[in-house]
Amino acid sequence: MATWASPAGSGDALNPEPLAAPPARLRPGRVWYLVALAVIVAGPAWLLAGLAAFNGQVNSFQRVALPGNGEITLTHSGRYVIYYEGPGAGAGNVPALTVRLRPLSASAAVQSITPSGSISFSFGSHADTAVLNLKIAHPGRFLLQARAPAAPAGSHVAVGSSVGGSLPRIIVPFIALIVVGGCGVVAVGFIRGSRGSGGRRLVLARVAEQYGMQYSEDDPYGLPAHDFGLLLEGNRRGCQNVLSGRWQDLPVKEADYWYSTGSAFSKGYRRDFSIVIAELAATMPYISVMPYALLGEKQLATWHVGRRGSHGIQFGSQDFDRKFKVTALPKRFAARFIDPAMIQWLLSTGGQFGFVIQGSELLVSCDQLPATGLVPLFDAAKSFTDHIPEPAWADDSTSQQTPATAETPGEPPAQADGPKSTS
């Protein structure tokens, strides 16, 4: 009886020896996503803190009602700004205004009062326009006299520090943090994606070289065009990272295969597989041997869990009928194909792989394997063909129609429970 064997040095199927991976390239960990997100969050935090400080700055202005006199205290020498504060000030509307400043304390001294550039702002309950620059030679107490005959009621003259540099110091870092954090998220994702896929390509190229195969990053064979139901699933699909050659004299093509569902109006999902398409030495009727674990959730949801085996051809083995769904055309072909030795071997695989024969091709599929873990997939293809009984090889019934989706996720095939035979 044939056994599940591997080429020399590849290990056995149940305990495959991992292929050596190439030296790892630096790949940023997921923690860098958190760092980038922290930078993004720091942007709004900076903005809120800056606006709170700006609000405190504006509230600290000393104010004298228009028209009127008022005492103010300036605590340091240097530059101050005199603002008109009142209706329309935020839009730069300033009435004719006269301001005089007279020292009240012996040490206080005014250096100069000059016109100011027009800086207007509205923040909270305050609307201000800068009208005069004030330079103090010596700090102290001053009497501020303000006159503006046309000023609306409720207007004031306010004296305080310049706000000209405050808003840029708030806005510029806020924008910079958002941009830097966003770019960081994109950069980490790009580097992780490119280096992850790049590392897989590098390993697969080495696997191909190790076992005398050809490697192609793209799919030069158009594998999704092969007439297997799995390769027709989803709205979009594709193959990449294709290895081609022979595995113990079995012609094979291995690839990363994916398909996705959904549309512009629904999210859908994506499934990724490792597949092998092998060329058989003879043409056979259609047969599918699929583990229920590999069938799609949509299909399983329509079946009664306790009676899964009843939806396929029964073989009298409770474990096998519970784990595998078998369909064939003609149905009688399954009896010649699935003999006790094949049942025992399929159970030994743990239901990791699905098998479909159509014509002279065999499709073996499973959830996507790591680049260093493809030996079991190749071994499964070879061992499956080794376990095909002689009566099945001798069968020449090839005129039956094949249910295109019998072995794939989706609705159960209409003929799965009892395909009609022509004999």
For residues 174-183, average pLDDT: 92
Residue 293's pLDDT is 86
Q: For a pLDDT cut of 90, what percent of the chain falls above it?
A: 57
Region of residue 159 (phi > 0: left; psi between -120 and 50: alpha; otherwise: beta): beta
Residue 198's pLDDT is 63
> Bigger pLDDT: 268 or 242?
242
Residue 8's pLDDT is 39
> Bigger pLDDT: 145 or 11?
145
How high does pLDDT run on average in the chain? 82
> Bigger pLDDT: 405 or 331?
331
For residues 151-177, average pLDDT: 90
Choose the weakest-confidence range: 118-122, 133-137, 176-180, 409-413.
409-413
Dmax over CA atoms of the chain, in Å, equals: 123
> Bigger pLDDT: 412 or 212?
212
Per-residue pLDDT band at 192 (split at 50, 70, 90): low
Per-residue pLDDT band at 201 (split at 50, 70, 90): confident
Sheet containing strand 98-103, strands side by side: 68-74, 140-147, 98-103
For residues 385-410, average pLDDT: 60
Q: Is the pLDDT of residue 399 over 70?
A: no
For residues 67-95, average pLDDT: 93
> Bigger pLDDT: 312 or 219?
219
Choose the weakest-confidence range: 1-15, 18-32, 42-56, 315-329.
1-15
pTM, rounded to two decimals: 0.52
Q: Which residues of 27-45 are buried (b: 16+ CB within 10 A; e: fewer)?
A: ebeeebeeebeebbebbee
